[in-house]
Amino acid sequence: LGVPSCAAPARAVVAMGEGHAFGWSLGCINRRLFVLGVSAVMLALCLIQLARWVLSFRLWDAIMGNSWKVEAPAGCIGTQCWEVLTCFGMKDASLHVREPLVTLAGVIMLPAALSGAHHSSHRDLRVAAVFFIATAVLHIGVLAADAIYFGTCGSYPTNIIYQTMLNWMPPSPLNRATQAKLQAMSAYSVEDVAQATHDFQVLTWYFVVAGLLAAFLLYVAREVWLLGDLSERGPLGLGMHFGLNRWDEVLDHDALRRHRMKGTRSAFLDDATLTIPGTDLESSHLGVPAYGGGYGAIAHLAKFDVFEEQEDEEAEQRMLEINAALDHAEAEEASAAAAAAAAEEAEARSRADQRLLLF
């Protein structure tokens, strides 16, 4: 759970924050903020898709009593309408499995992810993680089913065309005219689609987009699951042992003081950079000094030598005093030990004399 390099400048002044507790997604994004952002974006996309469906059903026009032109859908003709377990009958199966299931489930379940990430609720985050896992597994299953359909029937299922060629998100790589041609088709044979799209690699584009989407959903599920565990158990599995001074909502005054001290100059170091008197001969004053020996440019050197000799004498005198004090203490300790030994010897003699008197 170390601090990533892309977040290092922001961590120079403020405390480590909740990234220290919850970790990082994609290398440098706070895991809790990552889950919040992804859940909010996906919920917005689901709501927009739901609104598009409501508008396409003309519910508002029906409520207001407005009239509209009904367009005949491109569908089956004749006996094709009764086919079920055939290539024509199964062409829409994967699309109907994916939608509207994913969108409706997202509208219901993604608020749990937002609530869990905001309130650090383990239960809501676990529910959201299960939703992301199920959605990723569903996309992988649909991708496999579309590959089997293409290999068996030699044509594109409707899901491949609608998910990557005609859908508004992700944006289609085709222009509006080409999209209109595809929407007018009732079946999507390889030849017809190649002619309409000018030999665009539809299958490759679908596998890349759908594969990346499934992989991203699995990664989000992993991050949500980890966030739930960290919210309940902490980084060591022993509970939420997070110091209150490690959150962004609380200022770390120690970190702020360390940051301010970086710009404070040390008087001790500044004094150490000063030139020692007499070492710079060019800047020394000329003339006869008022104290000490020396003449001309070396006058300050002579004064410095006198001061140094005085300091040496004072230090030597202090050492003599210390040695004398130590010798005196040792002599007193030796005399005390001798007195104690004499007292013990006298007591021993007294006891011996008492024993003789008893006999």
Q: For residue 137, what pLDDT is reported?
A: 94
278: helix, strand or coil: coil
Q: For residue 14, what pLDDT is reported?
A: 35
Tokens of 99: 């939608």
Helix axes 101-119, 122-153, angle to 10 degrees: 150
Q: What's the pTM value of the predicted model, to 2 decimals? A: 0.57
Cα dihedral: 257, 260, 262, 264 (round 10): -110
Say how far apart CA 56 and CA 50 lie, in whole Å: 10
DSSP letter, residue 264: P
Q: For residue 139, what pLDDT is reported?
A: 93
- Residues 176, 181, 186, 189, CA torsion sign: negative
Q: Which among 126, 99, 102, 101 has a CA at the least distance from the CA of 112?
A: 126
Q: Look up tokens 């086919």; give the residue.
A: 83
The tens place of each residue's pLDDT in the chain, 359 residues long, gives 444 555 444 443 333 456 666 788 888 888 889 999 999 999 999 999 888 887 777 666 667 666 666 554 555 566 666 666 778 778 888 888 888 899 999 999 999 999 988 888 889 999 999 999 999 999 999 999 999 999 888 888 988 888 888 887 778 888 888 888 888 887 888 888 888 888 888 889 999 999 999 999 999 999 999 888 888 776 665 555 555 555 555 566 777 777 777 766 666 666 666 666 555 555 555 544 444 444 455 555 555 555 566 777 777 887 888 878 778 878 888 888 888 888 888 888 888 777 777 66
Say how far apart CA 324 and CA 30 lie, in whole Å: 69
In whole angstroms, what separates CA 147 from the centre of its chain?
Answer: 37
Tokens of 347: 């007591």
Name every residue whose Cβ is closer than 8 Å to that of residue 42 and which is 6 or more positions away in sequence. Answer: 106, 110
Tokens of 310: 């005085």
Say how far apart CA 305 and CA 291 lie, in whole Å: 11
